[in-house]
Homo-oligomer: A and B are copies of this chain.
Amino acid sequence: MNTVKDSHTHHISQQFNEELEGVKKSMLEMGGLVEKQVRDAIKSLINADTELADIVVERDELVNDMELNIDQECTQILAKRQPAASDLRLVLAVSKCISDLERIGDEAAKIARLAAELTEQGESQPGFVEVRHIGEEVSSMIQQALTAFARLDVDSALKVAHDDKIVDLEYRSTVRELITYMMEDPRSISRVLNIIWCLRALERVGDHAMNIGEHVIYLAKGLDVRHMDIEQVEDKLETVNK
């Protein structure tokens, strides 16, 4: 009897592990798609590629569907499996990450929509170099945050937070430059504002990547480090590691 029961328990727990791995895998897949969305949105903007811009906008629905499906899987795991400790943390971290990923998807779609408008407004634009540069940075931040999640790598998660600080500074200095540009050429205002919206969208993508990094720290260390400065986080982690 006991062996049967053990094998049954073993079977259940194996299924449970598969479900946990399943949502984690789905989340990382969603992350990969969202990273591609950001890269494609920037590409459509820089290359005035309206076709690609349309694809990005359409694909955002897929991103939204993924969020709903994964969230439903998480709820089902909570209801059926009643996970505890680190399993519960994993489900909750996944559920928070997909919300950030969905918002990154929204920002990518926003950039793609602006790309379509900017194409109508003519070729090379002021601020494009910076859009490409910051776009490259935040795309790498998404990738790094996801890898950190997959590997429970706290150092990589912290690196994302550091990078976000740099992106914020670059964003602010670029906007300042673009304001000067508009003052010198007031006819450019609508056009340049669209580029500022793109930069702002990218800056927010960076924030969401950083949030994912925070969820990694929660998952790995059980520490909720939201709303802390990066220095505070590092201090806190040192105390925990002692």
For the complex formed, measure the closest distance between the CB of A111 and the CB atoms of chain B, giving whole angstroms: 15
Question: What is the copy number of this chain in the assembly?
Answer: 2
- Contact of B224 with A71 in the complex, beta carbons under 8 Å: yes
- A179-B182 Cα distance, complex, nearest whole Å: 11
For the complex formed, measure the closest distance between the CB of A133 and the CB atoms of chain B, giving whole angstroms: 22
Q: Report B-chain residues with C-beta under 8 Å of the C-beta of A190.
A: 179
- Contact of A64 with B224 in the complex, beta carbons under 8 Å: no
Q: Given that A179-B193, A186-B183 are contacting pairs, would A78 and B88 also be in contact in the complex, using a CB cutoff of 8 Å? A: yes
Q: Does A226 contact B (CB under 8 A)?
A: yes
A residues neighboring B (CB under 8 Å): 61, 64-65, 67-68, 71-72, 75, 78-79, 82, 84-85, 88, 92, 96, 99, 179, 182-183, 186-187, 189-190, 193, 224, 226-227
- 29 CB-based A-B contacts, threshold 8 Å: A61-B227, A64-B226, A64-B227, A65-B227, A67-B226, A67-B227, A68-B227, A71-B224, A75-B88, A75-B92, A78-B78, A78-B88, A78-B92, A79-B84, A79-B85, A79-B88, A82-B82, A96-B99, A99-B99, A179-B189, A179-B190, A182-B182, A182-B186, A182-B189, A183-B186, A183-B187, A183-B189, A186-B186, A189-B189
**13 more CB-based (< 8 A) A-B contacts, given A64-B226, A79-B84, A183-B189:** A64-B227, A68-B226, A72-B224, A75-B88, A78-B78, A78-B88, A79-B88, A179-B189, A179-B190, A179-B193, A182-B182, A182-B186, A183-B186
